[in-house]
Amino acid sequence: MPGQAFINAKKKGRKLTMLTAYDAPTAALLEEAGLDFILVGDSLGMVLLGYASTLPVTMDEMIHHAKAVRRGAPKSFVVGDLPYKGVVKGPGQTLASARRFMKEAGCSAVKFEWNAQAVGTTKLLVKNKIPVIGHVGLTPQTAAKKGGYRVQGQTATDAAEILKKALLFQEAGAFAVLLECVPVPVAREVTRRLRVPTIGIGAGPYCDGQVLVFYDMIGFSSRLSLRFVKRFANMSAAAKKAIERYQKEVKEGIFPKFKHGFKMKREEEVLFRTLCNSI
């Protein structure tokens, strides 16, 4: 059963790791590092494509990036994130979109955010042998209807709803549940109650695994700093210094040198100059 290894990891208390990738070079790095999951997140709309939210992202855009990720990480467990435009018309469309991830991009599983038809949709996908990760808490595709990008589950009633949704995802056949931006006590209880692993982002230390956007984690993102993001590197600063050095060396004639170019056989160069004179 796909995903069973992650359920077994939860039972053994082994923490799971997930990061996003949107291209082949990044995916190759994550595979080499041994990540448990690689998520082709619809966050690519904001991180790479310049959209103001994830809502404009199309399935064609997701497939384009998912195929690149699979080429870069042929052995990894790759999860395709179903965008709003790939699920908005209901379970039938969601199934068709999920099949595209599996068949066209070679994904190992799909993830989708909680909606009114989430239970039936999960059952439909699982019935069609498509492994599912459910997503509860802050759901970016519907964030505008819930007061924007803010912590969810801060009242007892709202927190109980998050637990209920997570349990419903599990009972419908999801092999994992992603918890985004929920209070630590809520994430801890959801993790305790579920048989399947929880993957947290902004949900504290008690989840069975963690996920971050790769560009945020390496400090390459220009997005506003988020409280739940730890920057493990400052690649933005390093890249800026490299760009400034490149510009300086080009303007001052330091780069490129002859060694950065290609030679030509002497006789061919002489013949070339002769030919030039006749042009």
The reply to whether 180 belongs to the active site is yes
Residue from 31, 61, 113, 180 carrying the catalytic annotation: 180
Task: Report the distance separating Cα 160 and Cα 164, nearest Å.
Answer: 6
> Do residues 62 and 110 touch, judged by C-beta distance below 8 A?
no
Tell me which amino acid residue 226 is.
L
> Do residues 74 and 102 touch, judged by C-beta distance below 8 A?
no
Tell me which amino acid residue 277 is.
N
Cα separation of the two ends of the chain: 70
Distance of CA 68 to the CA centre of its chain: 13
Task: Report the distance separating Cα 258 and Cα 261, nearest Å.
Answer: 5
Angle at 18 between CA 206 and CA 63, to 5 degrees: 140
Task: Report the distance separating Cα 244 and Cα 100, nearest Å.
Answer: 42
Write out the catalytic residue numbers. Answer: 180
